[in-house]
Chain A
Amino acid sequence: MSVITGLGVIAPNGLGVKEFWEATLSGRSGIAELDRFDTSGYPARLAGLVRELDSAEYLPGRLLPQTDVSTRLALVAAQWALEDAEVDPAELADYDMGVVTANASGGFEFTHREFNKLWAHGPEHVSVYESFAWFYAVNTGQISIRHGMRGPSSALVAEQAGGLDALGHAARTIRGGVPLVVGGGVDSAFDPWGWLSHLAGGRVSVDLDPATAYRPFDANAAGYIPGEGGAMCIVESAESARARGVQGYGEIAGYAATFDPHPDTGAPPGLRRAAALALADAGIEPGDVDVVFADAAGVPELDDAEALALRELFGIRGVPVTAPKALTGRLLSGGAVLDVVAALMSIQESVIPPTFGTATVPGDYGIDLVTGEPRPVPVRTALVLARGRWGFNAATVIQALGDRS
């Protein structure tokens, strides 16, 4: 059994679990105009921005010349998660701690700065640190080096589904006998090239009003807002948590990932299958699920497809569904990990956060979307769903502690 005993959150609408959760319940949004370069020539200009974090306050100066903004966020989130779990890595054996992170865009800003130097001044001006600062696995590596964690470690790339894949693999690593794993996902790509990459996907909302730009499952949904940040979790074996005298927030009870069939086959997308497999992995039935944290693409045909998967699995309006990511935007690898954090907090406080911004859900979606205000209801079991561009699907079951024999 894998218990989550620590959370390190860096979200556009809150730094740390407490701030993020308060924002998630009160409706404070982190979506604002992207102001890191001149965006006046771009069709879309809103993003979920982490604004009030000075990484230099938290990280040793040695790490600054060698890290992209996304890696700094990952390092700070990991540090906060360790503090939250009351883990001092120096007191544990190095091979008893692993790191599993997801990342989808690598060190974009750092890399494009070095590319500028390459083209403008020549190769001798390119930082030697570019050799790893660009790389998807760099967050895992830097966390491992900083905290002396030499146990089994890896990196996963699956766009928005990656965060759940990382936590799923963290749980698998625990089952393999490693007592403690830092698991989660963080992304940031808001330099000009990164912004263009988001826009090239064709699904970013061009609505310039932060209140309406990203309205998942709304009749007027017209795309999503990209965000930055994410979260790191301390995933531990029940024995390790018990030995340290730590209770934890909840457990990773089930996980599954699927890949969409080729569009030419006409076969249905793999999201429902991922959800069903995750429930089976947890040994529970759809009726045991108290809330679904949806992928919530904010694109009508994708919202429709997710609603269909939910109807098929749970029946019409068979389970409360929510998407707090309407307040943060979609964070690539970080998005679903924030949903896991929200699920754990829902379990702790017996309340489902609403999907702020969404007003009118089409009747034929047949989903019970929580809107307007938080819904007080006991939550023991949450299902978190995520879809990554180009066919990735992942589903994770989060349960209250003590629910399994």
Chain B
Amino acid sequence: MTDTLSIEDLRGILVGCAGGDALPADIADVPFEELGYDSLALIETSAVLKRDRGLVVPDDLITEARTPGELLRLINDRIGV
């Protein structure tokens, strides 16, 4: 089983995928819309998770996440499977 992801890991991936100046310190419960990430940013994140960590989070599932915290739970649930 792969190690679970931390919110800081996810932050690094999001910033790498879609840029990230002026992100608040704690992003876990801030809606993606407020963080400036749209659905394409999440699809890019899904592609990078698959490519770099072998984690498959389908596009239709990843775009349902409303905050980084929700996305993190989604990812770690799948790691736990």
Contact = CB atoms under 8 A, between A and B. Distances in A.
Interface of A: 60-66, 124-125, 127-129, 131
B43 A61 contact: no
A60 B36 CA distance: 10
Interface residues of B, number: 15
A128 B19 contact: no
A63 B20 CA distance: 10
Nearest to A56: B21
Given A60-B36, A62-B36, A128 B21 contact: no
A299 B36 CA distance: 48
A131 B21 CA distance: 23
Contact of B21 (A61, A124, A125, A129): A61
B18 A65 contact: yes
Contacts of B44: 65, 127-129
Q: Which 3 A-B pairs have the closest CB atoms?
A: A61-B21, A61-B19, A128-B44
B22 A128 contact: no
A128 B36 contact: no
Contacts of B50: 124
B51 A62 contact: no
A66 B47 CA distance: 15
A222 to B, nearest CB: 44
B7 interface: no
12 contacts: A60-B21, A60-B22, A61-B21, A62-B20, A65-B18, A65-B19, A65-B44, A66-B18, A66-B19, A124-B47, A124-B50, A127-B44
Interface in B1-33: 17-22
B61 interface: no
Nearest to B44: A128
A350 B18 CA distance: 48
A65 B51 contact: no
Question: Which residue, of B18, B36, B44, B51, has the highest number of chain A Cβ atoms within 10 A?
Answer: B18
A62 B51 CA distance: 21
Contacts of B36: 60, 62
A124 B20 CA distance: 22
A125 B50 CA distance: 10
B43 A128 contact: yes
Contacts of B43: 128
Contacts of A60: 19, 21-22, 36
A45 to B, nearest CB: 34
B19 A63 contact: yes
A9 B55 CA distance: 46
B33 to A, nearest CB: 12
Given A128-B40, A129-B40, A61 B22 contact: yes
Query: In this complex, which of B17, B19, B44 has the most chain A Cβ atoms within 10 angstroms of its Cβ?
Result: B19
Contacts of A66: 18-19, 40
A125 B17 CA distance: 12
A61 to B, nearest CB: 3
Nearest to B51: A124
A63 B37 CA distance: 10
Nearest to A128: B44
Contacts of A124: 47, 50-51
A71 to B, nearest CB: 14
Interface in B37-60: 37, 40-41, 43-44, 47, 50-51
A62 B18 contact: yes
A125 B47 CA distance: 8
A124 B43 CA distance: 12
Nearest to A65: B19
A61 B40 contact: no
Contacts of A64: 19
Nearest to A64: B19
Contacts of A127: 44
